Amino acid sequence: MPFRPRYTGLIEKYRDRLPVRDDTRVISLGEGNTPLIRLNHIPGDLARGIDLYVKYEGLNPTGSFKDRGMTLAVTKAIEEGSRAVICASTGNTSASAAAYAARAGIRAFVLIPEGKIALGKLAQAMLHGAVVLQIRGNFDVGMRLVKEVAEQAPVTIVNSINPFRLQGQKTAAFEIVEELECAPDYHCLPVGNAGNISAHWLGYREYFEHGIVNNRPVMVGYQASGAAPFLRGAMVDHPETVATAIRIGHPQSWDKAWTVQKESGGWFDECSDEEILAAQRLLAEREGVFCEPASAASLAGALRDARAGRIPEGSKVVCTLTGHGLKDPDIVISQCGERLRTIPAELDAVRRAILDRLE
């Protein structure tokens, strides 16, 4: 039987396109290589005529796209002799930094907004042994503190202002192109700091400029209405949204993201919390894919723009699902409470409950 070489992570796969040396010690958990799932039911009902895919980044080792950037950021930190990494986070970056630091055998410090991160992410950071510092302030305040403290302490920042993060994350665009054998017409992402949309554009541009593909997508970024600085054209001081991952008012990649918008001919828009939760539920119910609320902003926005004709019929559209739904069980249970029934532990009751629902 012919065996394929074992997949050992995106740095090994894309070594030639990433800033690593032959003797670089790679810190990997097997990230990348995530499924691109073609939606079967949703387009027919809600966005007739578009060819719609989701890139399920929730299947990375710590359950979010952050692992793509973190493998490279921590690999380079080790190469440079760093003994500690630090980040501010709405949750996923802290989980990823904690895991890759553990893998590398170094210390992670994470600053998170008290009470505003999903429980699964908090559990990850704690279990991996990061020093978890809750602050009485939001992500944007934490980010400022991280930048300041990194000038006074020997710690490497692994937020997406670390350029290696975007280099790692650009590989998601490579994978999509390789699988579709072209770039999609539209690529939709949830936007917080706008690192990921900028990283994808780097990847698409690189494959285009190197002649691997002859088209590039229009890049579309969706933010939560209460945290939508790109739509408003100005920073937001008190961001609020149920999608805590993107509860960010002062995006770190502000200029980069506007360049992406201009170069790709794309746009930014907002989704209400209700639209976000409805899209999360729709995807879970109709396609069997469980993403976290922030991730569903990409689908919510794409469906709306397809219905409105802003994304034209016949388009090939990819939505990035940035994080796994299991990160944030609380929000789901609070939304779907009516689906939980308690019945007596008796055959009759079980049979009746089944027959009721089969009519």
Residue 214 CB, shortest distance to ligand AN7, in Å, is 27
Of 43 and 58, CB closest to ligand AN7: 58
Of 15 and 326, CB closest to ligand AN7: 326
Residue 149 CB, shortest distance to ligand AN7, in Å, is 16
Of 192 and 249, CB closest to ligand AN7: 192
CA atoms within 13 A on the CB side of 343: 13
CA distances to 14, 19, 110, 238, 245 from 173, rounded to whole Å, are 12, 17, 28, 32, 21
32: Cα separation from own chain's centroid: 12
Q: Give the footprint of ligand AN7 on this chain (CB under 6 A).
A: 64, 89-93, 160, 190-196, 245-246, 292, 294-295, 322-323
In SS3 terms, the chain reads as CCCCCCCCCHHHHCHHHCCCCCCCCCCCCCCCCCCEEECCCHHHHHCCCCEEEEEEHHHCCCCECHHHHHHHHHHHHHHCCCCEEEEECCCHHHHHHHHHHHHHCCEEEEEEECCCCCHHHHHHHHHCCCEEEEECCCHHHHHHHHHHHCCCCCCEECCCCCHHHHHHHCHHHHHHHHHHCCCCCEEEEECCCCHHHHHHHHHHHHHHHCCCCCCCCEEEEEEEHHHCHHHHCCCCCCCCCCCHHHCCCCCCCHHHHHHHHHHHCCEEEEECHHHHHHHHHHHHHHHCCCECHHHHHHHHHHHHHHHCCCCCCCCEEEEEECEEHHHCHHHHHHHCHHHCCCCCCCHHHHHHHHHHHHC
Of 75 and 322, CB closest to ligand AN7: 322
Residue 89 CB, shortest distance to ligand AN7, in Å, is 3
Residue 192 CB, shortest distance to ligand AN7, in Å, is 3
Residue 120 CB, shortest distance to ligand AN7, in Å, is 11
How many degrees, rounded to 5, is the angle at CA 114 between CA 122 and CA 118? Answer: 35
Residue 322 CB, shortest distance to ligand AN7, in Å, is 3
Of 167 and 295, CB closest to ligand AN7: 295
Residue 251 CB, shortest distance to ligand AN7, in Å, is 7
Of 160 and 280, CB closest to ligand AN7: 160
Of 192 and 239, CB closest to ligand AN7: 192
Of 93 and 162, CB closest to ligand AN7: 93
Of 15 and 290, CB closest to ligand AN7: 290
Residue 313 CB, shortest distance to ligand AN7, in Å, is 28
Dist CA 345 CA 296 (whole Å)? 37
Residue 218 CB, shortest distance to ligand AN7, in Å, is 17
